[in-house]
Structure 1
């Protein structure tokens, strides 16, 4: 049967998305109106098929190609071929090395102490005389307001910089210059002199670290990303592109995930108090967890996951069918021709009322082991699905849990009065005017 959807428009769908207030809101409307499988016009990809039904998502999970046009924006970071759209034959072994490193406990433990130092440095600044830097509207005397997205994405970039560029050759790396260069690249239009110089600086910095690793000749080390890629025979150019893309993706997604979580906790103080009580029980008088403590912070984990359900850091995914497919949906069976863009609106998946009762409500208890066991595993996909899902998901969760643990052990967060937080889609799910929050010390912290 034909896939339902709105009438095609001469503007390629741009007007419909604009009228809805953005692609994320348009997707919510599309699936509420037409069901779990919808045909729609996606600018840059022609007519696409959007899937918000987890049971149909599962049927597409093995698709291993991406539509090149939708990922062209990453090409400035990749000189050896866009890593997001390389063919399956080349992608599979490269992905295997990344998973062995990024998802491995040795890698997490090796860098955990440095992550702690970076987060505690931010906490000290927020709690000290400089805490009001970048204050948002409504901050009163003794009640500094911080811009969460600005501060936490910068922190996340410092963390991933330490992770990817630490070790041999890292003495020559100025982390603050790397952070500044990334901000220039992301904020300037492609081709400007400042953006070109910043991109050249980033590439040369990564190249120096790679060369130092090669010269040290210490062999494979599955806790060191660059050494693992060198040991796998990956070319220096491909390693540089890998590091660049990981740094780009990791700092934005982790920073906004923590920002949205603190935003929700500021509006649900009873949940924040329960998180604080768990931190006090597990950590005692310590200001930060050890790596092994993270598995004991079960309620914090539930809170973070529920936050990423409501505000998935990366709100979309996309695949391209290599052959004809048949999708069995709740409303019928649909034929999808080869070469079709299959669009994954993660926000609409996470708001599907058939799988998430009262989906707009913030309920961390949705992620108890019993609740998770009773739900399709494709109902929750904050890091994507299948062979193109995020290789850094495990590392991102460690960074986010650690950051939340340190900040919530020490501070309370509450919204700035009169500030409206409005989600918009950029590279990640962003807040239009940041998320300013008033930060005060917890009693006895």
Structure 2
């Protein structure tokens, strides 16, 4: 059976994506119009098939290759080959190493106290805004916080200048993502390019300083990312690339997820009150949780999951078929790009009744058990899913716990929040919120 989809366009599909307001919005329209499996055009992919059915997705979960052209924009950031499109045989051992460092409790506990300090510093700044009756720019502030957290983690807490690293990374991302999304930037393009190259060189030099402090066999902590890469015999260029990739993947995602969560709670005061009550019961008079407290914050966890269902930080993923693949009544040819439209998948009414509503109770254990395994995949799926998912969840829950213990958030009257695609699911003019100090019950 032929896969349904729109008629081919001479521009390779670029105009349709732009007219919809970005690829995530285009995929929502595609699946609403043509069903759970859709053929569509996309610059950089000869044949693209988008799948928004979690049962059919199971047949693609083994795919371990990514389409190179779609990730080519990242190549300037890497020295030892584009890590996002490494062949499966080369990617698998690197993934195992990353999971051994990023996914385990030792790494989360090692950095938890420092993460708490960083979140508390932000909360103190927001308290000053609240006292002056000024709104906070949650997206901007929280993405900056998440970058500081991942810099602390990726560089092992080494004594490099954190502000310098953050500023350099922002310089690199602003230039490269600005080119990708054709975002107008002030000033001379050649000068911006020079600054981005200098910033990238600065970042690599800082990582080299940390590498120099490691010697094979000297690693004593399982949470030491650079130490693990040195022990594995990776080259300095590959280590630098891996640190850069870790920072890139974690930079916006955690901060964006938290800012969307605060946005939703600002519009749903009953859910916000329930989170606040849970925090008061679990934490008592403490301003921040201990690591062990997170597992007791079950409603906070459901709120975060529901937020990432409605606003998944990464709005889509992509894999490459190496052989013909059968999905229900359809056959996808070898060499095709399979798209994972996370937002469309999360809005599938067959598995999410009234999908546009914010309902954290969807993630009660009995509700989760009724849904297919891949109905909710904010961190991707299969052998290319996010290795840092567990760490990102710990960071997000910690940030939310600290902020919601101290503040009640309200939307700024007249401020419109519009989702747009900027590598992550961004808000066009930030997510501005009023933070009111709260007194624990």
Report the TM-score when normalising by structure 1. 0.94
> Where do residues 330-341 of structure 1 align in structure 2 (5 Å cutoff)?
333-341=329-337
Task: State the alpha-carbon separation in 1 of the partners of residues 321 and 85 from structure 2.
Answer: 13
Asked if residue 144 in structure 1 is aligned to residue 128 in structure 2, the reply is no
Task: State the alpha-carbon separation in 2 of the partners of residues 16 and 358 from structure 1.
Answer: 27
Determine the structure 1 residue equivalent to 2:55: 55
Determine the structure 2 residue equivalent to 1:109: 109
> Where do residues 308-347 of structure 1 align in structure 2 (5 Å cutoff)?
308-328=308-328, 333-347=329-343
Secondary structure at the residue paired with 2:38?
strand
Task: State the alpha-carbon separation in 2 of the partners of residues 251 and 148 from structure 1.
Answer: 15
Determine the structure 2 residue equivalent to 1:203: 204
Determine the structure 1 residue equivalent to 2:286: 286
Secondary structure at the residue paired with 2:317?
strand
The equivalent position to 2:162 in structure 1, one of 175, 187, 205, is 175
Task: State the alpha-carbon separation in 2 of the partners of residues 185 and 146 from structure 1.
Answer: 25
Determine the structure 2 residue equivalent to 1:25: 25
Secondary structure at the residue paired with 1:188?
helix
What RMSD in Å do the two structures reach over aligned CA positions?
A: 1.4
Which consecutive unaligned segments of at least 5 residues does structure 2 have? 180-189
Task: State the alpha-carbon separation in 1 of the partners of residues 440 and 223 from structure 2.
Answer: 37
Determine the structure 2 residue equivalent to 1:136: none
Secondary structure at the residue paired with 2:85?
coil
Determine the structure 1 residue equivalent to 2:346: 350
Task: State the alpha-carbon separation in 2 of the partners of residues 270 and 249 from structure 1.
Answer: 33
**CA shift digits 1:96-155 (9 cap, x unpaired):** 010011000001000100000000011111113xx37xxxxxxxx832211111100000
Task: State the alpha-carbon separation in 1 of the partners of residues 155 and 387 from structure 2.
Answer: 18
CA deviation after TM superposition for structure 1 residue 386, in Å: 0.2
Determine the structure 2 residue equivalent to 1:135: none
Determine the structure 2 residue equivalent to 1:240: 240
Determine the structure 1 residue equivalent to 2:78: 78
Asked if residue 160 in structure 1 is aligned to residue 150 in structure 2, the reply is yes
Secondary structure at the residue paired with 1:6?
coil
Task: Kindly indicate whether the alpha-carbon contact (under 8 Å) linking 1:144 and 1:440 is maintained by their aligned counterparts in 2.
Answer: no
Secondary structure at the residue paired with 1:155?
helix
Secondary structure at the residue paired with 1:412?
strand
**CA shift digits 1:51-99 (9 cap, x unpaired):** 0010111110001100001111111221101111001111111100100
Task: State the alpha-carbon separation in 1 of the partners of residues 153 and 21 from structure 2.
Answer: 37
The equivalent position to 1:426 in structure 2, one of 408, 412, 422, is 422
Task: State the alpha-carbon separation in 2 of the partners of residues 235 and 372 from structure 1.
Answer: 43
Task: State the alpha-carbon separation in 2 of the partners of residues 63 and 188 from structure 1.
Answer: 32
Task: Kindly indicate whether the alpha-carbon contact (under 8 Å) linking 1:127 and 1:441 is maintained by their aligned counterparts in 2.
Answer: yes
Determine the structure 2 residue equivalent to 1:414: 410
CA deviation after TM superposition for structure 1 residue 220, in Å: 5.4
Secondary structure at the residue paired with 2:215?
helix
Secondary structure at the residue paired with 2:39?
strand
Determine the structure 1 residue equivalent to 2:182: none
CA deviation after TM superposition for structure 1 residue 251, in Å: 1.6
CA deviation after TM superposition for structure 1 residue 22, in Å: 2.1
Determine the structure 1 residue equivalent to 2:183: none
Task: Kindly indicate whether the alpha-carbon contact (under 8 Å) linking 2:305 and 2:360 is maintained by their aligned counterparts in 1.
Answer: yes
Task: State the alpha-carbon separation in 2 of the partners of residues 427 and 15 from structure 1.
Answer: 19
431-440 vs 16-25, which deviates more? 16-25
Determine the structure 2 residue equivalent to 1:44: 44
Determine the structure 2 residue equivalent to 1:252: 252
Task: Kindly indicate whether the alpha-carbon contact (under 8 Å) linking 2:46 and 2:336 is maintained by their aligned counterparts in 1.
Answer: no
Determine the structure 1 residue equivalent to 2:272: 272
Task: State the alpha-carbon separation in 2 of the partners of residues 360 and 296 from structure 1.
Answer: 28
Task: Kindly indicate whether the alpha-carbon contact (under 8 Å) linking 2:156 and 2:226 is maintained by their aligned counterparts in 1.
Answer: no
Determine the structure 1 residue equivalent to 2:299: 299
Report the TM-score when normalising by structure 2. 0.95
Task: State the alpha-carbon separation in 1 of the partners of residues 161 and 19 from structure 2.
Answer: 45
Which consecutive unaligned segments of at least 5 residues does structure 1 have? 133-140
Task: State the alpha-carbon separation in 2 of the partners of residues 395 and 180 from structure 1.
Answer: 23
Task: Kindly indicate whether the alpha-carbon contact (under 8 Å) linking 2:63 and 2:319 is maintained by their aligned counterparts in 1.
Answer: yes
Task: State the alpha-carbon separation in 2 of the partners of residues 98 and 220 from structure 1.
Answer: 16
Task: Kindly indicate whether the alpha-carbon contact (under 8 Å) linking 1:220 and 1:228 is maintained by their aligned counterparts in 2.
Answer: no
CA deviation after TM superposition for structure 1 residue 19, in Å: 2.2
94-103 vs 24-33, which deviates more? 24-33
